[in-house]
Amino acid sequence: MAARIGLVVHVLSDAAVRELAALGVRQVRWTLYWSRWDDADATRRAAYRASASAEVARARAAGLDLLVRAHGTPAQLVPAGKDEYAAREQILGAYVNELGANTSTVSV
């Protein structure tokens, strides 16, 4: 049985996907930034969602086994004057709802 190689990556550009394929990498853990996916600014949010969705599509088209890790709390979910830990129940609830609602959008 051939060894399976997996890597953690933050970019799935055309060049990155070609390099991963050339190295024989089949399994990739990629980071989706929730703070950018749910950015309060609609223009930035739309741009990131389009870019992230394109990266996922590119990886899938190349036959990569993709595990998506989402992290980064959107600033609007942290109450003013509090840290993330103090608002963890609200944030985690929003995290679950956001990922569940957008899984098909990103096609993960």
Which pLDDT does position 93 carry in this prediction? 79
Which pLDDT does position 96 carry in this prediction? 76
pTM score, whole prediction = 0.74
Q: Which of the 8 DSSP states describes residue 77?
A: G
**Nearest CA-CA partner of 10 in 35, 27, 32:** 32
Q: What is the pLDDT of residues 39-88, one digit of tens each?
A: 889 999 999 999 999 999 999 999 999 998 888 787 777 777 777 777 77
Q: Which of the 8 DSSP states describes residue 2?
A: P
